Amino acid sequence: MRRQALIAGGGIGGLAAALAISRAGWGVRLYERAPVFSEVGAGVQLGPNVVRLLHDWGLQGALERVAAFPERLVVRDALSGQELGTLPLGQRALKKYGAPYLTLHRADLHALLLQGVQARDHVWLKLNTPVTAYADSGHAVTLRTQPAAASTPGLHPVQAAPLLEVEGDALIGADGLWSRLRQQMLNDAPPRATGHLAYRAMLSQIRLPARLRSQQVTVWLGPRLHVVHYPVRSGEWLNVVVIVQGQVAGDLQSWDHHANAADLQQAMGQTAKLLQDLIQAVTDGGGKDSPSWRLWPLSDRPPMSGAHQQAQGRVALLGDAAHPMRPYLAQGAGMAIEDAAELGSMLAVARDPAFDVPTVLQRYALNRWQRNARVQARSMRNGQIFHARGPLRWARDASMKLLGEKLLDIPWLYGAAPRML
Ligand SMILES: Cc1cc2nc3c(=O)[nH]c(=O)nc-3n(C[C@H](O)[C@H](O)[C@H](O)COP(=O)(O)OP(=O)(O)OC[C@H]3O[C@@H](n4cnc5c(N)ncnc54)[C@H](O)[C@@H]3O)c2cc1C
């Protein structure tokens, strides 16, 4: 009898977990609350630490068809436009870390994971099915879901569909920042508002003047703001993210807000002409009926403090459910994929019913939590350094000019994830 894993959430982390766990020889049942599998229209950077895992899963060809492979990362002063430092990527990353650094559309990454999962036997994917709770008896775990009600508009009022219960050997909470499963497992405080807002846009590079098109990762650092842009869709599109400090009124759980381009332009007031031109061109590129910019209030949690936050009994958390972070190291999805790979390795051991699932999940948590905490802490610190003013800004710029590549490269992150096993 095949052991069964239940997964809550079909984002990048949940699908990566479904792929890794199915490759480990388990059956998988994944429950996603949304009516379709989809991702937001935004980009994602993947370091060699993550790309290596995707290659191991047989996704190299699929990645090569949709990703961009930037040759370098350039850091600039957002006020003067001056170059502060450079990190060669391309061949250097490939040689040093055994995999490239790449940038792609989130929907492309999500789609290639989904295709990978759909190509496997013993995997069931269920849409329209929010998970609500679980019960861990010690011998098995039962997941409670509430499938969306079927209704005939105009004829019957929408009726609540019956609760469904499904039993498995292990349950993986990949239900994101506002995770229901985390809430039940840890009952801790909700995610905190960071006071940072992300304006995100993506557009075809053909719609930009030639001098604003780019095939590299560029990071502009300014007082209380920074901007990151990089190519996606094989380099044909440009993804732009502007992070500013501020608050939005309203629901933090709804990420994707309509953005007011005038607010953004005001925030960019003092910045270098080239950067202002880019922001203006992206705004103009969108048009009135389909505005380019969307606004995302950013929330996070303090860095993890122990393995108990990543697994208890037959339940394990993964990705943003376990360790949401500020996106200033570009590794949130990366850590979700690393979690998934680690789960796959651990559950391969527990394919044999002689192995105790809670012990194996505990090992997963022990192997992952410190690295996740380190990445969360480094992401937070990057935010302070990126947005620095006064003497800290001066010190940052001076050390970046002096050390450049040494400061920007992160061998402990881009090299293989350390393991205790
Ligand atoms: C501005 C910005 C830029 C970023 N850039 C990068 C980057 O360059 N590189 C990088 O690695 N990371 C980046 N990240 C982080 C990355 O987006 C997240 O860490 C990653 O998406 C987390 O994936 P996840 O699967 O854990 O969660 P999610 O993507 O949130 O997926 C959770 C899934 O669970 C579903 N779900 C939720 N509740 C339930 C429920 N009760 N029942 C069933 N299903 C449920 C949701 O519908 C969703 O499909 C960025 C984030 C932001 C905000």
Q: What is the pLDDT of residue 41?
A: 79
Q: What is the mean pLDDT of each run of 10 residues along the chain (421 residues)?
A: 96 98 98 91 95 97 98 97 96 96 97 97 96 97 84 48 88 98 97 95 94 98 97 97 83 63 87 96 76 89 98 98 97 98 96 93 98 98 95 94 92 83 52
Return the closest-CA partner of residue 72 out of 208, 219, 233: 219
| Residue 286, CA distances (Å) to 54, 155, 201, 278, 377 in order | 33, 40, 9, 13, 35
Q: Which two tokens stand for residue 384?
A: 């302070």
Instruction: Using the Cα atoms of residue 339, residue 340, residue 341 and residue 343 in order, give the sign of their dihedral.
Output: positive
Residue 333 CA to ligand 1 center (angstroms) comes to 7
CB neighbour list of residue 287: distance below 8 Å, 6 or more residues apart: none
Compute the distance between CA of residue 211 and CA of residue 225 in angstroms, rounded to an integer: 23
User: Helices in 152-225 by DSSP H: which ranges?
Assistant: 180-186
Q: What is the pLDDT of residue 326?
A: 96
For residue 50, which atom of ligand 1 is closest to its CA? Answer: 11
Residue 179 CA to ligand 1 center (angstroms) comes to 11
Three-state DSSP at 245 gives strand
Q: What is the pLDDT of residue 155?
A: 44
Q: What is the pLDDT of residue 150?
A: 57
Compute the distance between CA of residue 28 and CA of residue 168 in angstroms, rounded to an integer: 9
Pocket test of ligand 1: the residue of 6, 44, 102, 254 to mutate, having most ligand atoms within 8 Å of its CB, is 44
Q: What is the pLDDT of residue 267?
A: 87
Compute the distance between CA of residue 295 and CA of residue 346 in angstroms, rounded to an integer: 38
- DSSP secondary structure letter of residue 322: T
Compute the distance between CA of residue 337 and CA of residue 323 in angstroms, rounded to an integer: 13
- The DSSP-derived string for 369-399 is HHHHHHHHHHHHHHHHHHT--HHHHHHHHHH
CB 241 within 8 A of CB 227: yes
Pocket test of ligand 1: the residue of 40, 132, 175, 318 to mutate, having most ligand atoms within 8 Å of its CB, is 175
Give the pairing of strands 170-173 and 27-31.
unpaired
Compute the distance between CA of residue 91 and CA of residue 103 in angstroms, rounded to an integer: 15
Compute the distance between CA of residue 395 and CA of residue 381 in angstroms, rounded to an integer: 15
For 317, half-sphere exposure in the C-beta direction (CA atoms, 13 angstrom radius) is 28
CB 205 within 8 A of CB 237: yes
Give the pairing of strands 83-88 and 192-204.
unpaired
Q: Which domains does the chain have, with CATH numbers?
A: 4-190+301-414 (3.50.50.60)
Task: Identify the residues whose C-beta falls under 6 Å from ligand 1.
Answer: 8-14, 31-34, 44-45, 130-131, 174-177, 180, 198, 200, 241, 296, 298, 319-321, 327, 330-334, 336
Residue with tokens 């719609």: 207
Residue 336 CA to ligand 1 center (angstroms) comes to 9
CB neighbour list of residue 135: distance below 8 Å, 6 or more residues apart: 141, 142, 144
Q: What is the pLDDT of residue 157?
A: 45
Residue with tokens 């394990």: 316
Return the closest-CA partner of residue 348 out of 21, 54, 121: 21
Q: Taking the model in full, what pTM does it have?
A: 0.95
